[in-house]
Every structure is written in C-alpha cells, then in structure tokens.
Amino acid sequence: MTRLVRVELHRLWSRRLARWSLVVLFAGIATAPVLVPWAFREQARINHDADIERCVQDQPPKTRDGVTMPTIPADIAAPAERDRLCRETVPTLDPDFHLRQLDQIFRTTAPLLVIAGFLVGASSIGADWQAGLLPTILTWESRRRRVFAARLVALVGATLAAIVAWQAVLALSVLPGSLAVDTTDGTGGDWLGTITGLGLRIALVGAGAAALGYALAVLGRGTAAALGMGFAYLFVFENVVGSQFKPLRPWLMLWNAIVFAKGTFEAGGDVPGRTVTAAALLLAVWATAIVAVAALVFQRRDVT
Amino acid sequence: MPVIEVVGLRKEYRQGRRRRVVALAGLDLEVPSGGVFGFLGPNGSGKTTTIRCLLGLARPNAGTIRVLGADPTRDFAAVQDRVGSMIEAQALFGGFSGRRNLQLLAGMADVVAATVDRVLGLVDLTDRADDLVRTYSLGMRQRLGLAAALLKDPELLILDEPANGLDPAGIRDIRRLLRRLGDEGHSVFVSSHLLAEVQQLCDRVAVLRQGRCVAAGTVDDVLATVGTRGIVVRLDDPVAGRAALVAEGIPATVDDQALLVDVPVGDAPRVAAALARHQVWHRELRPGGATLEEAFMALTGDPEVADQ
C-alpha cells in the first residue's frame, strides 16, 4: 500500500493541472508583500467612503475594529451640511495591514484553494479515464480497492500539505512588511492558535473538496463529468433546493463547509444553530458517503 | 496445463437504456503453455473484450475463465505478477519520459531497476528513453507499451494488436522478439489484424467471429479448414512448364514464378511425370493451400472467398 501511495504521489505530480495550480498559487505569494498592504489601504478607503455615505443617508451605523461609526441628528436635513458633518465625524481607521488580520486573507483565498482542490481531485483520475491509463494501472495492481484507496490517500494528503504549505509561505511573505512598520500587535499565542486552526480547517475543506472531485470523476468517468456534477450541485441543488426548501439547507454541504472553515459558532449565522463540530461531522458523513459509493462503483465497473 | 482456458464466455454491453450488445456469445478457447498463439477476428468480433475479461478488467455475464489457473474476475491479483499485457494503444503518462513511466510501473511490482534498461533495449528505445512520451510517435508508444508488458518477465504475455502503428522494420523486430520469447518458453497470446505476420509468427491460432471461436489449432489446421486448391509447381521457366502440361492435357496457369495446376492433389505424380517427359524440371511441387488471409476471410464470412 505504501508503495502504491508513493507511486500515486509521483503520478499526481505529473499532472500539469497540479503543477500549474501550485505555480499560480505560489506566484500569487510573490506579489503578496506589495499586494496585501495595498489591498488593505484600498479597502480602508472604500469602507471610509461607505461609512460617510451611511452617515449622510442616516442608515444604521457599522462597527469596524470595535469602533461604532457616529451618526448625526436626522433633523439636519440639508445634504451639503450632512455631508460636511459626516466627513468631520466619521473617523479614518488605521489603513495599514496588521499581521493579526491574516485571517482575512485566509478567508478571502479559501474559496480559491477549495476550488483548486476539487479540480486537482477530479483531474487526478478523470484524466486517466479519458486517456485509458486505468487499464494499464489495473493490470499491474488489480486489487481495485487498493488502487482507489492509494489514490485517495495520496490526493488528500498532497492537497492538505499543499494548502497548509501555501498558507505558511503566505504568512511568512507578509511577516517582514509587518515587522518593518511595526504592525504585529495582537499576534500572541492565542492569535497563533486561532490562525493555525483556521488554516488547518480551510486545508481540510480543500482536501475534502479534492476527495469529492475524485469520487465524482470516478462516478462520471471523467474530469468534465465531475465538474458538471460539482457545479450542478453548487449552483442548482444548493441554490434552488436550499432556497425553496429551507429546512433542507442546514443539511447541505456548502454552508456547513463555511461554518466549519470559519470555525465560529454564530447563533443565526450561516446555518442557524449549527456548531463547528456538528458541521464537521455532517461534512464527514457527506464525504464518506460519496466516496463510498464511488469506491463501490469503481470496484464493480468494467474498465474499458 | 493450458495457460488460458475459456469456457462458454458471454459478455454483453449495455448501449443506452434498453439495448444490449452481445460482444461474446459463448466463447470457448484453450491456449497451451509456451509458444505464440494468434487471436484473430474482424473488428467487433470480441477480441479486445476477451482480452479485457482475461485481465480482469471486464466482468463476463456467463462462462468461466482461467488464466494461469486463476479466475481473473475474482482473483487476478494471484497471477498479476506473472502476466504482462498490452491493450490496444498502451496508455502511459505523456508528461513523463519513457524510462520514468517504466520506473513507476516497476515500483508497483518490485521489479528491479536494471530491468527497465533491459526492456528498453529489447524494444530498441534506449536512445529515446529519456524523452517525454508525448513526443513519441505511435510506433514508439507501442514499443514502450510492449516494454512495459515485458517488465515483469512474465510467463504469459497478452498483447492486443502490438504491431499497430509500427513501420515494416518495427513489425519485423516485434515479430522476432515475440518469436524468441515464444521459443524461450514464454506463452505469448497476441491478437492481430496482420495476417501475414500471424502466419509467420504463430504456432497456433484461433479465429473469432461474432463472439464465438470458429476455428482453432495450428496454423496448418486452420488453413486446412478451407481446403486445398490444386497443386503449385515452382520451376525456372513457368511458360515452358505450362506448355508441357497443356500438351499432356493437364490444365495449368502461370502465376508469377509458379504454375497453378488445377488437378486433385493426388495427381501430383502425374504432373511431375508430364513435366519430366518434356525435359522440364521442377524445383518444388506442393499442394496449393490457401493463405491465412483467405482462410480468415472464409471463416469470418467474406462472401467472395466463402463461395469458392
């Protein structure tokens, strides 16, 4: 089994999609020291403009970084006067990127990593179906359960490791900038634990997406079929069924994945009443069921 | 003990929801140990399906299969290290070199690293071994597939159309290699469309038609199933020979450097005597048998030959 997993890891690395995904992701990191501070300043400017606008329109104020934005009395009716007063009273928050805000980068990039995981998972066996590689492999190792499991282990392990490595390198790439401008406040042991947990949970969701992509590609005998099923689920099932039959929504994957990745239990949040542990269990049940069906089909299906 | 035994093998494929296509309709086949066994049949006759069943890749609907004594539908793993195979165009990783592909396969079965270089040499790919497979021609991919099949030094080699895409020199090289393997005691089971090659290469053949075996045995046995036609006489001057035979009342026609004499095989002494009387000396005189191609066409239903 170990030998098979090793061979499968080599095969996985031969995939152009796997290589290109890593190249693109790590190339993104090269731009992070410049891009991240710029993006945070830009976001601060946009937020400031929005807060002024809310103030002028007399809309409920937002709370940012623990500061609730001020309001002005509604009886000041002249738009020019309201605008002047709001500009004077709405504070400009610190626009610099602080290392403690790394979680925002992780959350923003998480969907990209999960999609990349799904694509790599789907193509890891989908391309083999298309190219006719499976007969070659199965005449060398005919125990299909072992082949299926070895691929799955290699894929999930590699995806998990790749995402964790990517997040670590990303964190290291923005660290020198934060040290240089002294924006490392609030990054003690607690923060390290929180950010590590967030990174690991995102990596787990990414690895789970890879396993799902793999399972769907086995069922559909191709990458395209897996992508079709994946997107049909996301955009049709989750959207239509989730919105038309609201009681079903807590049992679907997407929102539970969000609850799990965020790692925060919010009453009335993404899935009302769903704890992080319950979301993790539910996702595990979904993934296990789909992978088990795929394994069963792979075991019995003719390989042509 | 036969290396392959197939009894009553039936395989159906579903096409669409309701339609079922019968690929194998009760195939019986026995391949003895050692030598080269040719597996012939027109397109769609069930050759590749048979090979897939032999390798445990497809599950038959009925019938029994034994490959080296094991049932491949349940336990191909028991014999997988003793069987080398190549199915149609062997698919390998285009993004890896030929050598790397073989090293990965070798890693799956505890094959020693030196074997990779040996089999690359056997199929004459040593010079291109480090090039990416995606840069290979079809013939080179075929040879690499054959090298992969040889990696385990298998007792039984199952090859589906191994000469596809090869140039004449490549076909000759593969023929010599397979013949040598057969002579060394390996059992080589090879499907092919190249009937002249099969006739030169194989000790025994089976002919498949619509999922059933319609003829099997030595090449001579199969040729005999379509009968013999007259006598072939080789001589230095076929025109003079024809004149001599016609003068004796024996019908004959010139065909290249030979005479085709339209009499029963039992009349061979009469033909020899007639030529001798006219001072024409033959170099060879033999029954005019059909070629394997003619036999194949007759057995698989080509009306032009079947009517003869």
B256-269 residue pLDDT tens: 778 888 887 778 88
From B109, which residue of chain A is nearest by alpha-carbon distance? A140
From A137, which residue of chain B is nearest by alpha-carbon distance? B105
The arithmetic mean of pLDDT across residues A5-15, rounded, is 74
Element housing A54 (H / E): helix A16-57
Neighbours of B209 (CB within 10 A): 18
Residues 6+ apart with CB under 8 A from A300: B59
Rounded to the nearest 10 degrees, what angle do helices B98-108 and B113-122 cross at? 130
User: Does A50 reach chain B within 8 Å, measured CB to CB?
Assistant: no
Summarize pLDDT for B168-187 with one digit per residue, the tens.
Answer: 888 888 888 888 888 888 89
* DSSP label of B28: E
As given in the structure block, the two tokens for residue A28 are 């993104």
CB contact under 8 A, B87 and A139: yes
Residues in chain B within 8 Å Cβ distance of A299: none
| Confidence bin at B305 (pLDDT 50/70/90) | very low
Nearest neighbour of A142 by CB, restricted to B52, B80, B88: B80
From A134, which residue of chain B is nearest by alpha-carbon distance? B91
CB contact under 8 A, A142 and B95: no
Q: How high is the pLDDT of residue A129?
A: 78
Q: How high is the pLDDT of residue A295?
A: 93
CB contact under 8 A, B57 and A136: no
Higher-confidence residue: A100 or B246?
B246
pLDDT at B303 over 60: no
Alpha-carbon distance A283 to nearest alpha carbon in chain B (angstroms): 33
Q: How high is the pLDDT of residue A20?
A: 79
pLDDT at B36 over 80: yes
Q: How high is the pLDDT of residue A102?
A: 85
Residues 6+ apart with CB under 8 A from B299: B207, B209, B214, B215, B222, B225, B226
Share of chain B above pLDDT 90, in %: 19
Q: How high is the pLDDT of residue B289?
A: 64
User: Does A144 reach chain B within 8 Å, measured CB to CB?
Assistant: no
Residues in chain B within 8 Å Cβ distance of A136: 87, 90-92, 105, 148
Report the residue of A7, A123, A129, A136 to disrupt the B interface, i.e. the one with the largest count of B CBs within 10 Å: A136
Predicted TM-score of the model (pTM): 0.77
Q: How high is the pLDDT of residue A265?
A: 58
Pick the range with the lowest mean pLDDT from A7-16, A214-223, A283-292, B52-61. Answer: A7-16
Residues in chain A within 8 Å Cβ distance of B93: 11, 14, 133
Q: Residue B38 is which amino acid?
A: G
List the beta bridge partners of residue B114.
none
| Confidence bin at B292 (pLDDT 50/70/90) | low
Residues in chain A within 8 Å Cβ distance of B59: 300, 302
Residues in chain B within 8 Å Cβ distance of A3: 107-108
Nearest neighbour of B107 by CB, restricted to A3, A135, A143: A3
pLDDT at B97 over 90: no
Question: B164 near B155, Cβ under 8 Å?
Answer: no
Summarize pLDDT for A158-208 with one digit per residue, the tens.
Answer: 999 999 988 888 888 888 877 887 777 777 888 888 889 999 999 999 999
Look up the ipTM and state it: 0.74
The arithmetic mean of pLDDT across residues A273-279, rounded, is 82
